[in-house]
A and B are shown apart, each in its own frame.
Chain A
């Protein structure tokens, strides 16, 4: 909310610099998010009066103007403005002052100038040159009472604060509310405007009626009636304040309702009284299919639970949101029925949201304005309309108040201030602070308590801590000491997944992977690309009912789409090898319940094994790189997995493996299906692995130390010839099942010449060792023969010569 410091000064005797005010209010909860200084660079510019305007002897369009600057000082300037006239008061800028160049819009220093042979001592400024508006039609004419010789910034200078008012303080969406805060925080006096105005003899009740049919949505409705009004332009002072807020002046009546709304925070609405059928107001819910044409000329459909202001026949306004065109004040309006009412905040919020019409009024109503505010605002506006619109106010006002509630008192103790803040405020301090804020206080020193009743404008106060905050913020949060938690540290029992995830990520970074992070929301397109046939995933992922874009309509059921997209984005780096991973949640739908959100780890490698280098480029990565990474990761957590054939449709059917631990699949590794690679504009040779971290973490963390062997190991190499279809794993399983074999490692795989067709040769190094003795050659021979026998029997293996 943009607020002029000068306007605030009309209500509070404060002289502090604007920055000081901004700082104090900010610290106390009313944040000033920046401010704009008007006249900060008006150094040297003073108010002067034109005392003589003569024709320039050399130019028709120019005048020679003598300006009185007070104290018998006069200057002569050359002026080309059409509105030069003797007697007017102007802003005089001497040579050397800084002004906005109207052509470049940049500030420039005024240079000495000789215009058509006449030296000009300075100039009379336009609004644009002063930087207060875009107006450059003529020079700025100051009011007749502007004091000659006074520096202009003392007269016209201002600071516009940009307040960010929090939702709990609707009272501060007003000049008076902010002035009240300033008065409290600076210890200065507040002046409220006079609300008394002359009334006619004829009572308002003789001419107008108000009826509330739905008091649950309208706790109070007040109205006044002003007749004999003449619609006209508003006076300068009123227009000035509206403009300072950023509001466009329209006519005196509309401007007054806006002005009073800004001044008091209470939105008002002026009806053309003669346009109200039946001369009465009915406050009711909208009828079925009811429509209203708003002031902007748009016909709007109303819903049954929206509150409207109606006359005896039809809706004339949507309560708290906007007026109707049918009762609008126009140039020939003479009688005004002025509304000052209280509406249920949630109803106004709902209606404003559905109709899509946020307005100044709406913003205020939806934040719990006090029903008590209706009266002062109504009286202030009535008085102004009578004064500025030349009208006559009817006797009395209408006040229908079905929702009156007694304001409750709240008790605060000094002990509570200590309990919450860590510092105790005395009864005197509490009472004095609350008093200054307008609370009615009953202090009791012996019980260390204050019973406080909030002023009507503070609808946000309901429990003792609310008062604690008031005391703390007015007395400054700097009063609160700084202590470190003294209590014992609570039992620590973090979920294992948290630390596991971190270690996994660090391990992958160690393997040269770059971590990526991506949105949880994905488009269906990114999901169907994961299928070689572009099928939709089943079950359908969790859908967002109001996505920002079609690319963010679903919650990702897999990390793959985003990871492959990232790979694709970076495919220029394939030459040097790409290693990317993401660890994050996927979202798996559950019926009528929150989705499952397991943490997954997905990695991809592509391109070469290493960066290009001058001693030769790395080989392209293959399936065994990906598998090796998974094996290495698992080994870091002291676990090993089985790799069995699998059928993940995104992966190459023959080059993929399910990662299984303890009979449970915890992940998959494989080459990306060529069709899927194509969908992501990736070349072939992309390898992917995916691990389900919550499933995996169950198999980590248990580890027992193995003693270092005391007796020597015996090593034997054997080469086997088997059918090409016999998997290596099967041979390992057979060999490992024999006692005294502690390790078996494959060191060669060969098929081709010297090996029969349909066969392959596998060479293994076997390690034999006993924990309690040195093995003899005979023993090892025996065991090795046993192994060979089994291999012959189970996989039809033969020893290669």
Chain B
């Protein structure tokens, strides 16, 4: 009996598996689960068996019946779903718009300028390190741009920062207003106006009287930084830049600190990161040095602090200036700076 049931079950399931349409499924149901089916007949015949055998065979037969019923329901559901989607597909395939490879309805996608985005990336990192953003005038007094930063008139450092002057002379016939040549003048103002502890960054345009070419523009972009407190050291400057470089350029890029000169810091530093193309081996991009300068920095010169009313014997300070424009140039392989201000959408839309 049990053997017969087993054979029946296997046959039924095998047949069910092969069924592809509802009418055949109905025939199957009648054959295996209908009132005149073999299974129903066997269940009826159970009464003739001895008690012990009846118990076992009955349970087994009912289990098989339940199994077949459930398999039928599943198959029935699947066939219905299949036929519904068949109907949906047929309707759509006949419509001209049924081609899902047609372009989607354009959704306006605006973009921010790559230079502005670079500013944001730089500033976000320093803000997370406790620096506050300060913004100041592009037109600046000679005092804050030069004098306050140890660059008096006729200082040779002024030659490397050719200046645009505002058409204005004071009573003594001196030109006092200029377009700032670096954002370090914002740090100078901060030193004169804020009390330590100080941690600020100053993003902004800077201007130099230079002929325009692929790598020089009369207006470009910097982020200057300044920290003043008791106990600030060059090791902190190093730490801040390692952290900045790790987050901005990724953990695998090495950072180099070398001695450099800027009139407003002592000791002075040039910060460079390993060239992403040659990894220090030297290539055209980095001018064969293997390093790409990212910032000028150093410990703020005692005279600069003193001039602003901060006692250099009590406080120490570091300052840095990051060139912004070169960052997207190197990152995206842009070889002509003029593209940034040409505002051609064919360029801007790429970022």
Residues of A within 8 A of B (CB): 26-29, 31, 33-34, 166-169, 345-346, 349-350, 366-367, 418-423, 463, 465-466, 468-469, 472-473, 477-478, 480-490, 492-495, 497-498, 502, 505-506, 508-521, 542-548, 552, 555, 562, 565-566, 569-570, 573, 577-580, 585, 587, 592, 594-595, 597, 610-611, 613-615
Contacts and interface: CB of A to CB of B under 8 A. Distances in A.
Interface string B287-306: 11100000000010111000
A422 B111 contact: no
Contacts of B257: 477-478, 480
A498 B135 contact: yes
Given A423-B235, A511-B110, A587-B138, A542 B166 contact: yes
A510 B110 contact: yes
B149 to A, nearest CB: 14
B57 interface: no
Interface residues of B, number: 96
Contact of B130 (A26, A490, A498): A490
Given A486-B236, A511-B110, 17 more contacts: A167-B160, A168-B261, A168-B263, A346-B153, A419-B316, A480-B234, A484-B236, A485-B129, A485-B232, A487-B231, A490-B196, A515-B348, A518-B343, A520-B207, A566-B343, A579-B110, A594-B141
Interface string B150-173: 000111110110001111101000
Interface string B129-152: 110111101111100000000000
Contact of A543 (B166, B170, B238, B242): B166
Nearest to A32: B289
Interface of B: 97, 102-103, 105-113, 115-116, 120, 129-130, 132-135, 137-141, 153-157, 159-160, 164-168, 170, 175, 177, 179, 196-199, 205, 207, 209-212, 218-219, 227, 229-236, 238-240, 242-243, 256-261, 263, 266-270, 287-289, 299, 301-303, 316, 340-345, 348-349
A420 B108 contact: no
Contacts of A562: 343
Given A487-B197, A566-B343, A515 B238 contact: no
Contacts of B268: 29, 469
A544 B341 contact: no
Most buried by A among B107, B160, B218, B287: B218
B259 A472 contact: yes
Contacts of A511: 108, 110
Given A419-B233, A483-B239, A486-B231, A29 B113 contact: no
16 contacts: A418-B233, A422-B235, A423-B235, A465-B301, A480-B238, A483-B233, A497-B135, A509-B111, A513-B110, A521-B207, A542-B139, A545-B166, A555-B139, A569-B343, A570-B343, A597-B139
Contact of B157 (A167, A585, A611): A167
A494 B212 CA distance: 35
B132 A493 contact: yes
Nearest to A565: B343
A420 B316 contact: yes
Contacts of A487: 197, 229-232
A389 B17 CA distance: 113
Given A349-B156, A469-B268, A512-B109, A482 B134 contact: no
A545 B287 contact: no
A605 B207 CA distance: 30
CB-CB nearest 6 A-B residue pairs: A512-B108, A422-B235, A422-B233, A29-B259, A469-B267, A346-B154
B212 to A, nearest CB: 7
Nearest to A508: B110
A573 B345 contact: yes
B231 A579 contact: no
B157 A613 contact: no
A465 B267 contact: yes
Given A484-B243, A517-B116, A610 B238 contact: no
A274 B270 CA distance: 52
Most buried by A among B115, B199, B267, B341: B267
Nearest to A478: B257
A28 B340 CA distance: 35
Contacts of A345: 154, 156
Contacts of A466: 266
Contacts of B233: 418-422, 483
A541 to B, nearest CB: 10
A412 to B, nearest CB: 13
Most buried by A among B102, B199, B234: B234
Given A29-B259, A566-B343, A515 B197 contact: no
Given A509-B111, A514-B345, A521-B218, A546 B156 contact: no
Given A349-B154, A570-B344, A490 B199 contact: yes
A168 B139 CA distance: 28
Contact of B238 (A33, A481, A495): A481
B139 A516 contact: no
Nearest to B110: A509
A511 B108 CA distance: 7
A165 to B, nearest CB: 9
B166 A490 contact: no
B265 to A, nearest CB: 9
Contacts of B115: 517
A543 B167 contact: yes
A502 B133 CA distance: 12
Nearest to B141: A594
A489 B175 CA distance: 39
Given A490-B132, A520-B205, A547-B164, A34 B288 contact: yes
Contact of B302 (A463, A512, A542, A587): A463
Contacts of B261: 29, 166-169
A360 B346 CA distance: 46
Contacts of B348: 514-516
Nearest to B211: A548
A581 B132 CA distance: 27
Contacts of A544: 164-167, 179
A498 B135 CA distance: 8
B166 to A, nearest CB: 6
Contacts of A520: 138, 179, 205, 207, 219
Contact of A422 (B102, B133, B234): B234
Nearest to A544: B164
A458 to B, nearest CB: 13
Contacts of A510: 110
Contacts of A516: 113, 343, 348
Contact of B239 (A482, A518, A566): A482
Contacts of B132: 490, 492-494
Contacts of A169: 261
B235 A481 contact: yes
B7 to A, nearest CB: 61
Contact of A517 (B141, B240, B303, B341): B341
Contacts of A592: 168, 170
Contacts of A468: 266-267
Contact of B197 (A33, A472, A488, A497): A488
Given A349-B156, A420-B233, A513-B110, A490 B168 contact: no
Given A487-B229, A505-B112, A587 B345 contact: no
A545 B165 contact: yes
Contacts of B135: 495, 497-498
Contact of A579 (B103, B108, B139, B227): B108
A34 B108 CA distance: 48
Contacts of B139: 542, 555, 587, 594-595, 597
A559 to B, nearest CB: 12
Nearest to B114: A517
A484 B240 contact: yes
Contacts of B137: 594-595, 597
Contact of A546 (B138, B159, B209): B209
B239 A515 contact: no
A144 B269 CA distance: 49
